[in-house]
Amino acid sequence: MAEKRKYVRTTTGAGIAAYAYLVKADSGRKFSDDKFKVTLVVDKDAPWVEDFRAKCLAEAKTEWPKAKPERVSLPIKDGDEIADDAADKGQDKEEFRGKYLITAKSKKRPTMVDAKRKTLPNNVIKSADEIKLNVALNPCTPSNNKTIALWLNAVQLITKNNNGFDAAGEFEDEDGYEYDGDGFDEEDEDEEDTENEEDDAEDDDDDF
C-alpha cells in the first residue's frame, strides 16, 4: 500500500483579504470553481514574502528536481502585472500596484480564528480585513504546467477592517421582539467580485 503523501504546511504573514469566499464556496458564475477561497494582498516589501517564496521553490525542487525555478508557476502573483492586464481590458485594478496577490483554495470551509486563536463564526471574516493564512503547498500539473498551488486550511483574523453596513445605527430601541441568539443558522452570502472571475487539509488552530 502506498504511503500517504505528506504536504508541507506553512503560515503566511499578514495581508489584506480580497475576493473572500469563506461562508459559501464560489459557485454559479462563469469561472466559478465551487471552492472556498481567499486572496491575500501584501506589500511587495513585506518581510515574510521571500521566505514564503523560498518554501514554495523548495517544494518544487523536491517534486521536480530537474525543473528550472522560472518554469514553475508559484502562488505569488505580481499585482503590477494584474493591474496592467486589467487596464488593457478597460478594467481598473490599480489598487494592486506595488502588491503581491496570494490565493488559497479548499473544497471545504476553512477553520477561522481570531487573533488569540479562538474559533470565529463563519461569517465574520470579510474582504478588506487583515488576515493570515495557514496553507498546504500542493505540487500539481494543471494543463501540464508545473505549479505550486495552495490548499487553504485556516484563516486568522488580525484586524477587523470591514464591519459592513451598521443597520442597528439607523434605528432606535423599541418595545417588541428581542433576539436571544438562538434559532437561526449562520448563513451569509460571501462577497463576490465579478472582476475576479478569471482569478484564479486539515484544520488545526495551533498552526497560528
Q: How many domains does the chain have?
A: 1
Does a structural domain hold residue 16?
yes
Q: What is the Cβ-side half-sphere exposure of residue 158, based on CA atoms within 13 angstroms?
A: 13
Q: What tens-digit pLDDT sequence spans the chain (208 residues)?
A: 556 778 999 999 999 999 999 999 999 998 899 999 999 999 999 999 999 999 999 999 999 999 999 999 999 999 999 999 999 999 999 999 999 999 999 999 999 999 999 999 989 999 999 999 999 999 999 999 999 999 999 999 999 999 875 555 566 667 766 556 554 444 444 544 444 444 444 444 457 7
Does a structural domain hold residue 194?
yes
Does a structural domain hold residue 36?
yes
d(Cα 173, Cα 95) in Å, to the nearest integer? 40
Does a structural domain hold residue 172?
no
Residue 13's domain comprises 9-163+181-199
Does a structural domain hold residue 205?
no
The residue type at 71:
R
Does a structural domain hold residue 87?
yes
Does a structural domain hold residue 37?
yes
Does a structural domain hold residue 170?
no
CATH of the domain at 13: 2.40.50.140
Residue 36: CB atoms within 10 A of its CB come to 21
